[in-house]
Chain A
């Protein structure tokens, strides 16, 4: 640190010279070229793998396609009208909504409580932190396979616990009334780690002296949490709820592995329906139309959240 001024004194002579050598105009152009170079890789990749596909999706959604993926003929909005009159698609929208309602609030509340416990540096909180963050290391597929064992109707751990408690056992994945709940339980477990880390980070960002003064005033922990922590980390909560809602709309892996959309389409969420249409039945036109509906849903959700969330959010 001490050295910097000396060096800069010495070098400043050179700087004056360089200004003389390069007129301002040239320097500005150099900066543009540099910016273009620095941005080129990202722009190129976004162009090919994000913006072009977005337009192509719109194009495909207005056409019927051959199983090879070539455009057969222009059909206008027929793909969309077909979708919204199809019972399967409408039920998949409803299943997706239910799935979101089952998973997002629960995960958020659980993660908040766990993060609040871990923020106060009580003995052993480091170990608890690690445990609560563990599901972060779980992928959809490993998680699903593990839960397949837990959900097993006759040998599974969950039904064993139920029978110990004297309750009737449940066909977790094959009962149409339970399958979506089972998928939700697994998803809550899987997503808890990420939200926990996110919210804990938010809570640790609150300066310690704010808590200190609350403690001095004799506020009890519950009140501190409700009246102080929650409002202060509301930006984080806001962000967490938006991302997990969007995430819940995109659930696919656990359904593909555990239930394949069944039984009786009770877990047929929108992305699974899309996957089946596009990559099992090779109907890329309908598939693209569904993708765009999903996009619109996510977009609307984000906008609503920003519009109404903004008011309640406390920015420091």
Chain B
């Protein structure tokens, strides 16, 4: 009994230390965002603001078009997420339930695309997008990402886990594939859709290299590029920069809080089973 107590104690100790280390950068960002400029530039560094100074958030919104950045990122990620869900579900359905020649080879080819690192395609894609005049446009930001092999794989796993009897019953009822797809397979795979949706949104919200390459005008910049350029702009005051950071982090934090349960297990299931 006593041994168990010691063990739990050590476990808590480790967890609390780890949690403190992981939280430290977050805390620095949040506390600085509420400080006055002189408070955030003192030494030794302060860990608590003297009061809640929300004017940093107003300053950052006035000084840089951060709302525009957020809207750009939100639109881009949403379009890509919806596109991912649609293309993945369709391809996954074909691989899971339709019989056609070359299915195995084609599926293998899909899976092999996951091994192609993005950097290999980035130069030709940049040239393609530029030649289409898609620099500084939403098409350029979204279209190259609309299909995903990972999503196809994940959704296929979910489709294959649907009860066989149900599919058979529907087929015997005379449902065509399109109906089974739209009113059975997709609605019943909501957990899969949610996992893929959250994953895809977070991923593209955080995308860095591609928007850096293809957006030049300030009005098309995504939040990730905008925020990393803050330090070069006139505002080098950390409290204002951190206020911007907090604004940018907020959507992903909320999404994580809502979808954490989905992600645990969901990703693993997709990644491994089958």
Task: Point out residues on A near B: beta carbons under 8 Å.
Answer: 4, 7-8, 11-12, 14-15, 18, 28, 31-32, 34-39, 41-42, 44-46, 48-50, 52-54, 56-57, 60, 69, 110, 113-114, 117-118, 120, 122, 128-150, 154-157, 160, 189, 192, 197-198, 200-202, 204-205, 221, 235-236, 239, 246, 249-250, 252-253, 256-257, 271, 274-275, 278-279, 284, 287-288, 291-292, 294-295, 298-299, 302
Contact = CB atoms under 8 A, between A and B. Distances in A.
Q: Which 10 A-B pairs have the closest CB atoms?
A: A201-B268, A139-B206, A53-B124, A45-B147, A53-B121, A56-B124, A137-B252, A38-B94, A11-B173, A141-B228
A252 to B, nearest CB: 6
A128 B8 CA distance: 14
Contacts of B220: none
B256 A139 contact: no
25 contacts: A28-B99, A42-B110, A42-B147, A46-B149, A49-B121, A54-B121, A110-B18, A118-B15, A134-B253, A136-B202, A139-B248, A145-B230, A149-B28, A155-B41, A155-B45, A156-B45, A160-B44, A200-B264, A202-B272, A239-B271, A253-B224, A256-B228, A271-B119, A291-B117, A294-B120
B183 to A, nearest CB: 14
Interface stretch (B50-58, B60-68, B125-133): B125-133
Contacts of B116: 50, 54, 295
B202 A236 contact: no
Contacts of A150: 24-25, 28
A141 B168 CA distance: 49
A35 B130 contact: no
B174 A18 contact: yes
B174 A11 contact: yes
A294 B117 contact: yes
A181 B205 CA distance: 27
A50 B227 contact: no
Contacts of A156: 45
A101 B143 CA distance: 35
Interface of B: 7-8, 11-12, 14-15, 18-19, 21-26, 28-29, 32, 41-45, 86-88, 90-91, 93-94, 98-101, 103, 106, 110, 113, 115-128, 130, 143-144, 146-147, 149, 152, 166, 169, 172-174, 177-178, 181, 202, 205-206, 208-209, 212-213, 224-225, 227-228, 230-231, 238, 241-242, 245, 248-249, 252-253, 255-257, 260, 263-269, 271-272
